[in-house]
Every structure is written in C-alpha cells, then in structure tokens.
Amino acid sequence: MASNDNDNEQKLLLELQKGSEQAMREIYHHYVRYLTAVCFRYLQDEEDVKDVLQEAFLKIFSSVHSFEYRGVGSLKGWMTKIVVNETLKFMKRNSQTMFVELKQEKMDSIDEEPDTSGIPSDVIHQMIRELPDGYRTIFNLYVIEEKSHKEIAALLNIKENSSASQFHRAKLLLADKIKQYRTLNSASL
C-alpha cells in the first residue's frame, strides 16, 4: 500500500471495515513499524511493547467500523492515538511510571532551546528514551502528541503544574545530555 495513494488507502479501509482478513494483514504490515516506534517512545521493554501493540491492534480492528476516513493521514493519526492511549493504560495498570507531585521549589531555567543541529536524530531519540519514565512520558505527550499540560494532567491523573514542572525538568535533562554530547563530539561537529 503506497502511503500517498488516497484511493488505495480508502479502498483498503473499506475492505477492513467489511472484515477482510487480507485488509487486516495489509494494514498491520504497513503500520506496525511506525506504531512500534510510537510505543517505544513511552516503554523500554520489548515484551511490554509487543503486549501493548497486540491490545492496540485488537482495538483498532474491533472499532474500525466507527472510524470515519478524512483523507490521507487520518487513519494513521487515529491508530497512533489508540496506541498512545493503550500505552498509557498499560503504564497505569503496571504502575511503571512515577509521576512526582512536586512542591513549589526553585527551578533552574533554560534561557533558550538547546541547539540540536548536527546531532543525528537517532542520538536525540536515544537521549529522550534515556529520560526517567515520567519525564519521558510527559515530554512525548507534550512535544510529539501536542497535548496541553491540562490534557496531560487529565490523562495521567496528575496536577497540571506537575506536568509542566516534569516537562521543564525533562528539558533540563535533555539540554544537559546535548551539552555533554557536544563536549564529547566537539571535534566531529
């Protein structure tokens, strides 16, 4: 399935909504790598990722009849949302992530966003993956999924200011990792 082929995507979706197993296989094979990467933004363990993806695909295939196609990218966006929600449910069920309720305390500030130019994207992704679970989750929800701190607070059952402060701390840690990377690799950049 070509990702830019609107007609093919729409036809495949119609077949999937009719219960076609071939359409299920095609949808699965087309999106599994991308959705695995989405899941790995939040989880570290490969077995956990497999479990979440299995649940997510079951939900996708069982609720596809209620999905309304809105053009190229809408199916991918809908499936991404399901994977993120299933991942968050998994994390809550397994109490894997600690979201710290922070008291009002002096926080270091970042004057500007760190310069990531010249740093390979896989290195940046690894830096994000190395963040503590709570920080990484909030960072991904805010930056990648474009959720507000209010939405994140509701999703994770934490206070809005906790989301904001953990995001701030995630940025501080990332800025420090970027600084360390630049120091170690200054000759090659």
Residue 114 included in any domain: no
Q: What is the pLDDT of residue 6?
A: 66
Of the residues 92, 109, 133, the one at which a domain ends: 92
Examine the domain organization and report whether 129 and 180 are in the same domain.
Answer: yes
Q: What is the CA radius of gyration of the chain?
A: 19
**Structure tokens, 168:** 């701030």
Q: What is the pLDDT of residue 115?
A: 78
Which alpha helices (DSSP H) does the chain contain, by range? 6-17, 21-40, 46-63, 74-93, 121-129, 133-139, 149-156, 160-184
151 burial via Cβ count (<10 Å: 0-12, 13-18, 19+): middle
pLDDT in tens, 60-109: 999 999 998 888 888 999 999 999 999 999 988 886 555 554 443 434 44
Examine the domain organization and report whether 57 and 8 are in the same domain.
Answer: yes
Domain span at residue 8 reads: 3-92
pLDDT in tens, 137-175: 999 999 999 999 999 999 888 999 999 999 999 999 999
